[in-house]
Amino acid sequence: MTSEDHSPSDTEVFDLRELVEMLPDGWRDIELFSVVYQAFEIPRASLPEPVVLELSDVCAILVYGSVRYQATRSVRLEQTSDALGLSMRFDVDGVSESPHGPLLALFTAFDAEPLARDRIDTASGLMVSFQGRAIAYEQLFETSMSPTSMSLYTPSIEDPGMHGRPNLRPDYFAFIENAQAVLAALPNEHRNRIELALRWINAAVRDRGVDAFLKYWMGVETLAMPNTTNIRPINESLARAYGLGIDQVRDEFLVGRLYGRRNEIVHNGDMRPVDARVLMYLLALFIDLLRDALGIVAARRAKTLLAHPDFSDFTGLL
């Protein structure tokens, strides 16, 4: 950790290049990926100079002031016609200036975006774990830059077409209302477990990679593995839903393989990329298990996916 010989005034405003100049030797002349957070609960007097932390492959700067940045308020997909064409719209605010106060800027080498983003997330998680969320309370922006150029990043956008079209039939909306009524009538412990599982799924569908995998699995485990770390209740639920024997379910639905991948991630730090088809299958599995938990006829989502040509090599993805 170092404190730079650079004492900002109460009104000092930085641009990102000035923050880069605070980095140690060896960081300033490479292409970088950076994320800047607004911090809180740090008195001005306690941060008279920028603090620089070298966290292996991430460098962190904690500084008091404001930062100027090119603000993209949002990126939206718009449906352009009845043929479901898509266009992308950027809402650009121009140059913005953050509120005056403490800032945390994290920098890492920009080799590949997913890898750089993972390193930043890991470093942010380290800071939050030891300092509390206030140290990186709200993300302001992220960008990549070289000594001669700078690129603004926006949230990633996934093709909505890969998830299928919503069912707009009135009877299907009535089915959803009925499912909620069934859920509301369950005993408290059972209902609470299902509602918690639904919140995990809502978080999972908005995440990516290993993080999404774990959130999907937490949804499955919360829903279908009460009072146990044994996956047998999941297989029993699928056996009921599909009218199959437990051995056939074990062989066909690969729950054991998914659980093994979960264990490799949690216990051995397995950071291999997770194929999008694995995440799609976990969601399909959850839907089948949810229907069984609510006493609703199975939609056979998991088996339908496994029969699709795109899933012919699915075992190899696990």
Kindly list the domain boundaries of the chain, sorted by start residue: 2-153, 160-317
Q: Does residue 96 contact residue 43 with C-beta atoms inside 8 Å?
A: no
Q: What is the mean pLDDT of residues 293-311?
A: 90
Band (pLDDT 50/70/90 cuts) for residue 68 is confident
Q: What is the pLDDT of residue 148?
A: 72
Q: What is the mean pLDDT of residues 242-261?
A: 95
The count of other CB atoms within 10 Å of the CB of residue 153 is 15
Q: What is the mean pLDDT of residues 246-270?
A: 94
Confidence check: pLDDT of 178 > 70: yes
- Tell me how far CA of residue 303 lies from CA of 230, 242, 275, 288, in angstroms: 22, 9, 18, 9
Nearest to 38 by CA among 158, 189, 139: 139
Rounded distance, CA 237 to CA 109, Å?
47
Confidence check: pLDDT of 83 > 60: no
Confidence check: pLDDT of 18 > 50: yes
Q: What is the mean pLDDT of residues 195-213?
A: 91
Band (pLDDT 50/70/90 cuts) for residue 57 is very high
Rounded distance, CA 210 to CA 213, Å?
5
Q: What is the mean pLDDT of residues 180-186?
A: 92
Tell me the average pLDDT of the chain: 85
Q: What is the pLDDT of residue 154?
A: 58
Confidence check: pLDDT of 45 > 50: yes
Q: What is the pLDDT of residue 8?
A: 44
Confidence check: pLDDT of 104 > 80: yes
Q: What is the pLDDT of residue 298?
A: 81
pLDDT above 70 as % of the chain? 84
Q: What is the pLDDT of residue 64?
A: 94
Q: What is the mean pLDDT of residues 164-183?
A: 84
Q: What is the pLDDT of residue 177?
A: 87
Q: What is the pLDDT of residue 12?
A: 85
Q: What is the pLDDT of residue 70?
A: 73
Q: What is the pLDDT of residue 95?
A: 76
